[in-house]
Amino acid sequence: MQVNEVLNMVNVVSKGYCFLVGGSVRDLLLGRAPRDIDLVVYGRARDLVCKLVGVNGIRTVVLNKEHDLVRVVLLSNMYHVDITGLGSEELPLDLRRRDFTINAMALPVKDYLQGDWSGLVIDPLGGLSDLREGVIRACSTASFNKDPIRVLRAVRLQAQLGFNIAPGTMELMQNLQRPLSTAPGERVWEEFRLILDLPNASDIIDVLAQRIKALEQIFPEIELMRRMEQNYYHTDNVWDHCFKTLVEFERLTRDESLRVGENYWRGEKRLPVIKLACLFHDVGKLKTSGMREDGRITFYGHHQAGGPMAENIGHRLKMSKREIQLFRRLVEWHMQPLFLYKNNPPSSKSVFRFFRHLGQDTPACLLLSLADVTSSRRATGKLALAEEYKKYILHLLRQYKEKKDQVFNHKTLLDGKEICSIFGLKPCPLVGRLKNDLWDAQMEGKVTTRQEALEFLHSKIKR
């Protein structure tokens, strides 16, 4: 089933009292295909959707009973149409309560389906004019205090559409009476994730942090990171260094020599989480700051201390379990590639164990580490050292690509039961260590056959 078929059904059962609204109308006017469709109908949306239950090719879901919001999902492509009931409210009032004038327009579905709708847009607040002028303007002075999430949406739309935020709207954003910290964590993450998913997320985050002063309302850790002095490897405070790491990471994702594939970044929606890890990879320094006798500042173990702190941020934002796992893992392991580099040359065993532990998150960790090192070296005028480190990261990426099938399969030539049976052992930690040693030997190419595996384990047990 196609979207227009769903729209036609809704139009019929609503007797023509249904309207495209919000970003759907905005995108149509901009000549863009709407990502998803938003409708409003007179009366109750749930009553209307009940008439669609059982129609082949769609599934209906009640998203919010209180606000009478339902979703129709097209099973063929998982595209969806969201429908909100107006109840007894008039459409112009609903539009006036929306976030921005460019999102406060409506179009009768019956006119849209007929194809000739250019002069039929309902526009109570001058959204058409603002769309032509490229301006993002709040619908009312109370817009952001009703919903502070709109601050994040404004800067995202500014970046996505290449528009300017109206001066009066920017002033409202800078003087929030209801801070972002009062918004539900899951809604904050939903909008912030969309920002991080953009190729120029660092520009938007800089506006949120410097011009609007809203980022610390979401992440109070930032203020402490700004106050934290660094050690002799850095010239920036902890926050400035982390922000510049994000800038470097976005540069690296455009570097052809470091391409790991668009599917990798989009897979599991990794990219926003990796960028969040860039911003907070050194958050553990808040808990590990110390000083040596010679006066040098230290942050021993900051990567390990940062893991639980990242997890707390993830829970605060109601991120998914997998997102929190990735966020924490990247913060905890971001130093490991540099440790391997300094142990020149690192053993194959330590490299492959790193691959095994990180699994599919290995490329993300490698690029985070490179962005981290490049950020600090650029700040100290030592980019030549960053270029040397880049060569090493490229080497690890090549190794990972060559060995990843073996890493993911993680199969040894002899399993635990066989080791116990052949060597007369009972299940115990020794068997696990023997399996790990055998896997390392296989990855290094020292053991390639079952007979070699037997001889290798025999030599280990004899010791």
> Which candidate, 160, 307, 331, 319, places its Cα nearest to that of 245?
331
- Sign for the CA dihedral angle at 183, 188, 190, 191 comes to positive
pLDDT at 233: 64
pLDDT in tens, 76-131: 877 889 999 998 789 999 999 999 999 999 999 999 999 888 889 999 999 999 99
Q: What is the pLDDT of residue 172?
A: 97
CA proximity to 163, closest of 211, 194, 196, 129? 129
18 pairs with which residues across the strands? 41
Cβ(419)–Cβ(368) below 8 Å? no
Asked if the model's pLDDT at residue 206 lies above 90, the reply is yes
Q: What is the identity of the amino acid at 295?
A: G
**Tens digit of pLDDT for each residue in 439-458?**
888 877 888 889 988 888 88
Rounded mean pLDDT, 41-58: 85
Q: Is the pLDDT of residue 234 over 70?
A: no
Beta-carbon count within 10 A of 189 CB: 22
262: pLDDT confidence band, cut at 50, 70 and 90? low
Domain boundaries, the chain: 1-126, 134-215, 219-409, 416-462
Question: What are the structure tokens assigned to 45, written together?
Answer: 């949306």
Model confidence pLDDT, tens digit, residues 341-367: 998 777 888 888 899 889 899 999 999
Q: What percent of the chain has pLDDT over 70?
A: 96
The neighbour count for residue 355, using CB atoms within 10 Å, is 19
Tokens 């850790």 belong to residue? 221
Give me the residue label for tokens 């470091």: 258
The confidence score (pLDDT) of residue 286 equals: 93
Q: Which CATH number fits domain 1-126: 3.20.20.80, 3.55.50.30, 2.60.120.10, 3.30.460.10?
A: 3.30.460.10
Report the CATH architecture of 219-409: Orthogonal Bundle (1.10)
170 Cβ partners below 8 Å, 6+ apart?
211, 212
Could you tell me the pLDDT band of residue 232, with boundaries at 50, 70 and 90?
low
Q: What is the pTM of this model?
A: 0.87
Q: Taking 80 as the threshold, does the pLDDT of residue 336 lie above it?
A: yes
Quote the CA–CA distance of 238 and 176 in Å, as a whole number: 27
Q: How far apart are the first and last CA of the chain?
A: 68
Q: How far apart are the C-alpha atoms of 273 and 266, rounded to whole Å?
A: 11
* C-alpha angle 381-385-391 in degrees, rounded to nearest 5: 140
Peptide bond into 345 cis (omega under 30): yes
With tokens 């998803």, the residue in question is 36
Alpha helices by DSSP H, listed for 147-220, are 149-161, 167-174, 185-196, 201-206, 215-218
The Cα 44–Cα 46 span in angstroms is 5
Q: Please tell us whether the domain made up of 134-215 is placed in CATH 1.10.10.10.
A: no
> Does residue 69 surpass a pLDDT of 90?
yes
pLDDT of 407 over the 80 cut:
no
Contact 172, 143 (CB under 8 A): yes
Residue 193 identity: R
Phi, psi for residue 73 in degrees, rounded to 5: -105, 130
d(CA 394, CA 33): 38
